[in-house]
Amino acid sequence: MVDYIPDQQITDHEFSDEYIIKTYNLTKIYYEGLPSEVIALKNVSFGIKKCSFIAIAGPSGSGKSTLLNILGCMDSTTSGRVLLDDIEVTSLSEKDLADIRKTKIGFVFQDFLLIPTLSAIDNVLLPLIPSGIKKEDRARAQEILEQVGLGNRAKHRPKELSGGEKQRVAIARALIQSPKIIFADEPTGNLDTTTGEDIIKLLRELNKSLGITVVIVTHDLMIMDKVDLVLNMRDGGIHIP
């Protein structure tokens, strides 16, 4: 599922076509406005195979969110390369990155990040606003809500939903543009154990039925038990036990 390359000089390494995410010597250093630099990722090189269901774990501050944000095209690298579905994203313009986020990636966050004034279905449709919402999109959003078990909650606003239901709406929103990869940062962090398990079950079903690669950042041991593989991070690197 994951091919980690400990050798720091891997410029010649060829991943096969099975890999949807590839990183080469990925490094992220934060400088701006700081008294001293923070090296958040150090020379990280690995590949993740298509249709994987994996977790990224590790202590607080080890670089998990930094890595996820870079893989998700939400943040830039300091050096090194990232390829998503064979596209070199490290050299793309802001506009092209936005296109990749739109066409290939879905995000799920700990805090759900739903718009409180919008109904569940309108939250699901949100990513389509820039390109214009068509009539058939609404039917598709309803279908996706049904797929995540919320067909009868489409008109509810977030405050009228439980935590688990809110996270399902967030997952439906991640699905609206048929992503190839879902990145989830602590998706069960605000949920009780049973609800968290249901959310992971749902993500696993989507991974299996739609072939979506799912990468979950987590501290949750329950999740680590349910994924194909855990990538352990320590001090900005991947730690092999």
Ligand X SMILES: Nc1ncnc2c1ncn2[C@@H]1O[C@H](COP(=O)(O)OP(=O)(O)OP(=O)(O)O)[C@@H](O)[C@H]1O
- Single out the segment in contact with ligand X by CB under 6 A; choices: 34-42, 95-103, 112-120, 128-136: 34-42
State the nearest-atom distance from the C-beta of 227 to Mg ion, in Å: 17
- Single out the segment in contact with ligand X by CB under 6 A; choices: 11-19, 53-61, 80-88, 224-232: 53-61
Nearer to ligand X by C-beta: 34 or 129? 34
Examine residue 65 and tell whether it contacts Mg ion (CB under 5 A): yes
- Which of 15, 19, 63, 218 is the binder for ligand X (CB under 6 A)? 63
Decide: helix, strand or coil at residue 195. helix
What are the CA-CA distances from residue 173 to residues 51, 84, 105, 123, 125 (Å)? Answer: 20, 21, 11, 7, 7
How many CA atoms are closer than 13 Å to the CA of 10, on its beta-carbon side? 22
State the nearest-atom distance from the C-beta of 32 to ligand X, in Å: 7
Examine residue 45 and tell whether it contacts ligand X (CB under 6 A): no
What are the CA-CA distances from residue 52 to residues 207, 208, 213 (Å)? Answer: 8, 9, 5
- Does an H or E element contain 138, and which? helix 135-147
Examine residue 66 and tell whether it contacts ligand X (CB under 6 A): yes
Residue 49 has a CB neighbour count (10 Å cut-off) of 19
How many CA atoms are closer than 13 Å to the CA of 139, on its beta-carbon side? 3
- Single out the segment in contact with ligand X by CB under 6 A; choices: 54-62, 86-94, 163-171, 207-215: 54-62
Nearer to ligand X by C-beta: 147 or 167? 167
Examine residue 40 and tell whether it contacts ligand X (CB under 6 A): yes
Strand partners, 54: 215, 229
Q: How far apart are the first and last CA of the chain?
A: 17
Examine residue 60 and tell whether it contacts ligand X (CB under 6 A): yes
Nearer to ligand X by C-beta: 65 or 76? 65
| Tokens encoding 234 | 């320590």
State the nearest-atom distance from the C-beta of 60 to Mg ion, in Å: 7
- Which of 62, 77, 207, 218 is the binder for ligand X (CB under 6 A)? 62
Examine residue 27 and tell whether it contacts Mg ion (CB under 5 A): no
Examine residue 110 and tell whether it contacts Mg ion (CB under 5 A): no
Residue 169 has a CB neighbour count (10 Å cut-off) of 26
Nearer to Mg ion by C-beta: 65 or 119? 65
3-class SS string, 4-26? ECCCCCCCCCCCCCCEEEEEEEE
Query: Contact residues for Mg ion (CB under 5 A)?
Result: 65
Query: Contact residues for ligand X (CB under 6 A)?
Result: 30, 34, 38, 40, 58, 60-66
